[in-house]
Amino acid sequence: MDRIVDGLYWFLAFLFSTTVHEAMHALVALRGGDPTAYRGGQVSISPIPHIRREPIGMLLVPLVTAFYNGWAIGWASAPVDTAWAERHPRRAALVSAAGPVGNLLIALIAWIGIRIGLGMGAFEAPPSPVFAHLTLAANGNPHSLAAFAAQGLSVLVTLNVFLAAFNLLPLPPLDGGSAVLGILPKDLADQAAPILRSPGLSIVGFVVAWQLFPKISGPLFHMLVASLYPGQYVFR
């Protein structure tokens, strides 16, 4: 039963977080002059248009991984007018960065929620923090509202920090691979954009990112714990 409950937390957090991620892409694209995603209904925090576009990445894979592995992975996408992106590489870079920014905002709000709970005495530091239990209910009742909030906030913080960090790796096809165009000189960005969007390079970039991320996820998590409980834990 605990595994099912944990899987449900991760799946719902993934669904919400990914929806916000893609909605941020779509909103910034609309403000920048590309209404493609808006016309697809993706300037929305309703998951339905995002699920409709990527049913396997938004539903099937996250459900399977959440209940089998105990944490959810998946994918989604927002359509972009490639001709517009080529004309406006800097705007396209902002669109790419907007998704991870949305995840960081969710993580920040959830982090503040944990800090407030700790300050009010509703939460307490766990003996050994893990991804889904950055904090625990102080009353010790695993079925209390405080326990529900503690686990929900823990999952939201961890998932969104990891989503933002993974997507900001400067490798195609991740958001960071396109966002780097925003800091390049315009002539160089114009030349680099078609190369970064090539399918072959995208496959290589994703494989490299998948191998690289486990090396940074541990230190990231330790930093997250240290930000909640300064000096309380020693990591080796």
Question: Quick check: 102 pLDDT over 80?
Answer: yes
Instruction: Report the pLDDT averaged over residues 4-31.
Output: 96
Weakest-pLDDT range from 25-34, 41-50, 81-90, 177-186? 177-186
State the chain's mean pLDDT as an integer.
92
Contact between residue 206 and residue 174 where contact means Cβ atoms under 8 Å apart: yes
In this structure, the number of other CB atoms found within 10 A of the CB of residue 203 comes to: 12
Handedness of CA 92, 213, 185, 97 (dihedral sign): positive
The token pair that represents 179 in the structure block = 């966002």
Catalytic member of 22, 54, 86, 124? 22
Question: Quick check: 31 pLDDT over 70?
Answer: yes
Give the distance, in angstroms, between the CA of residue 2 and the centroid of all CA atoms in the same chain.
24
Phi-psi region of 121 (alpha: psi -120 to 50; beta: other; left: phi over 0): left
Weakest-pLDDT range from 10-24, 27-41, 157-171, 176-190? 176-190
Which letter does DSSP use for residue 233 in this model? -
22 is catalytic: yes
Question: Quick check: 197 pLDDT over 80?
Answer: no
Question: Quick check: 5 pLDDT over 70?
Answer: yes
Query: Could you give the residue ranges of the DSSP H alpha helices within the chain?
Result: 2-32, 36-39, 48-53, 55, 61-68, 82-87, 89-120, 145-167, 175-179, 186-196, 199-228
Give pLDDT, residue 1: 65
Long-range contacts of 123-126 (CB under 8 A, 24+ apart): 123/150, 125/228, 125/229, 125/232
End-to-end CA distance of the chain: 33
Give pLDDT, residue 200: 78
Weakest-pLDDT range from 48-52, 206-210, 217-221, 225-229? 206-210
